[in-house]
Each structure stands twice: as C-alpha cells, then as structure tokens.
Structure 1
Amino acid sequence: MNSPKSPHEPLEPQQHWAHLPENTFAWGIRLLLWVRRHLGAWPLIFCLYPVVLCYWACNARARAASLQYLNRLEEHSHTLGHQASHLDTFKHFIAFAETIMDKLLAISNEPITIQKKGTQGLLDLFEQQRGAIIVTAHIGCLELCRVSAENNSKIRKLNVLVHTAHAQRFNRLLKQLQPNSPVELLQVSEFSTATAVMLAQKIEQGECVAIAGDRVPLGHGLSIPASFLGHEAMFPAGPYILAATLKCPLYAMTCIRAPYLSRKYHYQIQAQCLAEHISLPRKTRQQALMHYAQLYAHWLENQLQSAPLSWFNYFDFWQQGQTNPMPTKTPTA
C-alpha cells in the first residue's frame, strides 16, 4: 500500500458516487437476514467480516477516500488523537459492517434500545399534523429511525428521497418484510413539477420528507459551497429549496451507534431544528442557500466528533458536485 497522502491533496479523479456499484442488493440482504435469524450473530459476523476485509484490501479508492476523510477530521477537531493510518481506515470499514448488521436487526424487528435527543419538536409537529423536511446524512443507521417511526403512533408517514435505482429494489424488500411500515423510499431521478406537487401533498397531509444533505445528485440540482472539516465542499441545495417551496420547517436528524455515546443504549437518534421557516429572497437567494448549507455542514461536523467512524461516504467527498456549483464565494461562518 502507498504511504498516506496529505489531507490537503485531492484524490485521483473518479466517477460520481451514483455510478459506484451498490454492494447491498436485496438478495444479499435476504441472505444475511436468513443467517442472522436462523444461525445467530456469530455466523453473521463470520460471513460479513471476511467480505469487508477483501473489499478493504482490493478497493484502493475507497481506502484513500476513508484516509482523506479521517485525516481531515483529525486536522479539524483532533477527534482521533493521531494522524489517521490504514489501520484506522480498516476500522472505518468494520464500523460499516457493524452498521449493516444493525440494519438487519432493525428490519427483523429485534429489540434495540434507542435513546432520543432533540426529537420533541418533531413530535409536536406530528401532533399538529404538520409536515417537515428532514435533512439526513450517510452516518449511522437511519433504518433505526424507521423502527422508531413504526413504534410511534404520532408519526403518520416518513418519505425518504433517494437518487438511485437500487431504492426500488430495497423498497420492495421493505414492503415484503414490513407491509404496514410508515416509511417509504421514493426514487427521484429527476426533480419535476409533478415531483414537487407530490411532495407538497405529503407535507400538507402531515407527513415528513427526508433527504440526504451530504451527496450531490447526479446531473441535476444546484450544489452549494460550504466549509466542511476545514475545506470547501459542495452540498446539494435541494433540502433548503424544498423547505422554502413547501413552507415547512427544516430539521436535521441522524442515528449514531454506541459505544460512542453510552453503553446503556445501542443507538441515539439526534434531531435538531435548523430553521422553522426558510426564506430565499430573489436578490439574496444564493447567499441564503449557502447560509443553510453551512448550518448543515456545522451540524454534520458536530455529529462526526461524537462518532468519527460512522460516516459512510467512501468517495472523494470534496470533489463531488464540481460540474454544477453555484458561482459564489464560500461563507466562513
């Protein structure tokens, strides 16, 4: 293996994240779920960890992306306490494998203790039958947010926007395993007027729409510059435009795995209201979007300080969205 690169160096050019092969197909989930249900946790570990080791050893780009992220996190907040090494990247991949196991537990409805922090505002919205936009990230195990939604009668429905065709396959699997689930994955390959109308109806019905804020969609949508871990990165404008268009609150939410937080709980769902109302004045629209993107970037940085190995973007995050950025200067605060 090559020596670790400086966190300031960009990685070699690579394809957009949406073109990267998806390794957790429905048939694989079914197989692992069968192993977990019928053979137990240890056989599942024996099945999963060798695959992780092979993937880590053979995928130099994902390894380099992990190393770049961990070094930039250490440079920004000294979270690791040392310069990241390839051993740290392996631990990063293992954390992803453990999260896959937790996804299986969530799907199979096995008991998992979940602590909730900052969710009262969302529950109040549900009681008032008001909807909201929830901006998430590829951190932790969001499937447990689905479990929490299913166990809470106040939650009417949670719609998750995704940008890949794999969502249809996984959505069908969820419907088969949990036919009464209030969670639905919505594949959005193109944001059209019809899409906007559909989402507006869901918000009016008191439902929530969740969308990832840390991946720029392929070929459509604006991307906005913001400072992230001390370096400029591009973030999708979609969550903030949606919240402004649909005139609803904007929340950030994630679900982080213990033992980063407390051994009393397996996971902690954390929610924070980023804005009760989003206004995008025509003359200052770009600056307003950048302000909300920066709020999200700061929120994400805080999450990663608590759980540095729980962010699962194994590509050059700081190079995404460079083809359609919004031409404005990155804010510093």
Structure 2
Amino acid sequence: MSETQNRPRQARPPSGGSEARTAASTAATSPAPPADWATQRERSNLWVLRLMGAIAVYAGRPLARLVLHPITLYFLLANGPARRASRAYLARALQRPAGWRDSYRHIHSFAATVLDRVYFLQDRLAQFQIDSRNVPAVEAVLAEGQGVMLLGAHVGSFEALRAGAQSVGTRAAMLMYEDNARLITATLRAIAPDVQLHTIALGRPGAMLALRRWLDGGGMAGLLADRTLPGHSGRSRTLMLPFLGQPAPFSDGPLRLAALLRQRVFFMAGLYHGGARYSLRFEPLADFRATAGPALEAEVEAALQRYVALLESICREAPYNWFNFYDFWASDAASTSATPD
C-alpha cells in the first residue's frame, strides 16, 4: 500500500566493479529511518487495511463496498491535510479546479483498492475483470529464464499486479524498507494467513543477495519509486523533474539498483477503473544488461525521465488512482539540491 522509497544524500554515483558492489552492499544493509510523515501514513494505512479486511471477510464484497461510502466520507471530513493534498493534486491531473466531489471519488477509489486487496490476497479472482497491456513483452523476458525488475508508483493496486504475475506463471516480490515490510507483512498475514507473501526487506544483511537469487530464478521484483525519504547513505541522487506542471523530486536509486544487477526494467501499474474492473500496464524502461561506464549515467537519467513521463501520463488518464495524499511537490523540495544536468 504505502511502501516507500527513500532519498539518499547526493554523491558521485558508482561506475561499476568493486565500487559498484560496495555501493550495492551499502544500499542493501544500511537502515533508512523513515521520516515522521511517512511513519504516520504507514500506520494510518495499516489501520484502514485491518478495518477493511475484517469487513471484507465477514460481510462479503457487495456489502463491504456499501461500507466504503461512510468510511470515505469520514476520511474526507476528518483528514484536512489529505483532503487539501488530494484537491491540489487533482487540480494538476484534471487541469481544472478540483472540488469536494473529486476528492470524494479519489478517496473512495483508494478505499476500494484496499478492500479488493483482501480478495486478491485470497486468490478470489473470479469476481474481477482484469485486462492487460504489454504482458507479452514481459513474458518474453521471463521465457528466457531471467527475472524482471518492475518500477511502479503508489497507483492503483500492487495486489492486482501480483495476481497478474501468477497468471503468467511467475512470482512477484515487493521490495520495501525493513520497517514498512514488517508492518505490512504482519497485517496482510492477518488477513490471508495462507497466502505466499513475497517481500524482500531492504535494510537487512543479505538483501542484495536475496534479490539477485530471486531475479536469477525468474521472478519479478517490484519497487514503488514515487516517494523520497531522507536519511540514506547510498550513492543515488534525487532529481527535480517536471511532473504535472511543476518540478518534483524523484530518486534514481531504484534504477541504479537495477543497473548494478544488470537487469531489464519495466514500468508497472495496476489501475482501478471502478466496480470490479482493473487493468495491468507494463512499459519498457531500460535494459542495463550491457550498459556500463559513462553510458550508464546517461541511461539511468534517461530511464528516470521516461518513468516520470509515464507516471504523468497515467495520472492524466486515471487521475483518481494516484494515492499520495500529501503535498508531493513541497514535501522535500527545500532539501533537494540535485537537478538534471
């Protein structure tokens, strides 16, 4: 739901060899303490997940969807900062002033994906209509016996993407920082104790080795790359890139991780279209298998720009699917110094 990426301090990026391996090891083992706003949001989302999980299990989906309306109304009225952030974002995505009805729809879409997460985890897929785009491109990579790194955002439902991975006969793991992984895994196991939850907790010793083995075994590994957090000691940079009409901070850390592991990267999104309708999107971002030296720096930056452009396109197409309920543009703009060359 709210797995976060963090914003490392700006430093000279690694070029390869032992320096690259050292950087990868640091990124995998150095804990990244979350900012207060991130911790609060994680715990809030987990509370919602627990509530919706209980409703989903005991009431069934038709009745549970009726309960979404009072829950949505409560959050709309009670959470002023989230409501204001929603309206500010929607005004950018919709390219018009956003009102209460828009924010209600935005929060309701979020609550609906939380509810459906329970059913996806329990493999109750027959009640959903799921279409997809560019799945053959991902299948072609998997058919070679290689894994794929997926770069996503807090858009729609990752559980829909996990279901899509199962439909093509592979496994999908989520990369999270340790605190978030522990909180979210515990909650999801309470909802679906028998489900196979694949998470790789960055910040633990051996995380990089676990990720490499997962990918070498033909699995897919997903990261959500639309948030940045302070406190990391790695070597990635945060760039201010144009996003919905104003520069916003994006970290190139996930792409550098893929580059260090020599992986192919796809953009991913599991969009919610109302009712029981979802669509899975995959778009190629980068192929780091043969890129090194100065060309690597250029390819990482170009891939990050493509990622931001695709995310912007998704936000225009399905504006009520982006679930960052805070001031994304102002969150750490004052502390971000790196800009694209």
Contact 1:142–1:255 (8 Å) recurs in 2: yes
After superposition, the Cα gap between the structure-2 partners of 1:327 and 1:41, relative to the gap in structure 1 and judged at 3 Å, is closer
Match of 1:127 among 140, 143, 152: 143
| Separation in 2, partners of 1:236, 1:18 | 19
Structure 1 residue 281, shift from structure 2 partner? 5.8
Higher helix share: 2
Letter matched to residue 317 of structure 2: S
Letter matched to residue 146 of structure 2: R
Structure 1 residue 290, shift from structure 2 partner? 3.0
Question: What are structure 1's unaligned runs of at least 5 residues?
Answer: 1-13, 76-81
- Per the alignment, residue 212 of structure 2 pairs with 200
Match of 1:39 among 59, 72, 79: 59
- Per the alignment, residue 115 of structure 2 pairs with 101
| Separation in 2, partners of 1:219, 1:131 | 30
Contact 1:224–1:289 (8 Å) recurs in 2: no
| Separation in 2, partners of 1:276, 1:284 | 12
Match of 1:249 among 264, 280, 295: 264
1:55 aligns with 2:75: yes
Structure 1 residue 179, shift from structure 2 partner? 3.7
Q: Give the superposed CA RMSD.
A: 2.8
After superposition, the Cα gap between the structure-2 partners of 1:310 and 1:164, relative to the gap in structure 1 and judged at 3 Å, is farther
Q: Report the identity percentage.
A: 22
1:234 aligns with 2:246: no
Contact 1:226–1:290 (8 Å) recurs in 2: no
| Separation in 2, partners of 1:37, 1:122 | 33
| Separation in 1, partners of 2:217, 2:107 | 40
SS state at 2:310 partner? helix
Question: What are structure 2's unaligned runs of at least 5 residues?
Answer: 1-34
Structure 1 residue 24, shift from structure 2 partner? 3.5
- Per the alignment, residue 22 of structure 1 pairs with 43
Match of 1:298 among 302, 306, 309: 309
Contact 2:154–2:226 (8 Å) recurs in 1: yes
| Separation in 1, partners of 2:178, 2:322 | 19
Report the number of matched residues.
Answer: 301
Report which stretch shifted further, 268-277 or 278-287: 278-287
SS state at 1:165 partner? helix
1:74 aligns with 2:94: yes
TM-score using structure 1 length = 0.79
C-alpha distance after superposition, 1:297-322 (max 9, x if no partner): 11011112221101000011112344
Letter matched to residue 257 of structure 2: L
1:143 aligns with 2:159: yes
Contact 1:114–1:266 (8 Å) recurs in 2: yes
| Separation in 2, partners of 1:323, 1:286 | 25
Letter matched to residue 105 of structure 1: Y
Letter matched to residue 45 of structure 1: R
Structure 1 residue 191, shift from structure 2 partner? 7.8
Structure 1 residue 103, shift from structure 2 partner? 1.3
Contact 1:168–1:185 (8 Å) recurs in 2: no
Contact 1:63–1:314 (8 Å) recurs in 2: yes
- Per the alignment, residue 186 of structure 1 pairs with 200
After superposition, the Cα gap between the structure-2 partners of 1:175 and 1:313, relative to the gap in structure 1 and judged at 3 Å, is same
SS state at 1:227 partner? strand
Equivalent positions of 1:214-225 (< 5 A) are 214-220=226-232, 221=234, 222-225=237-240
SS state at 1:98 partner? helix
| Separation in 2, partners of 1:282, 1:252 | 24
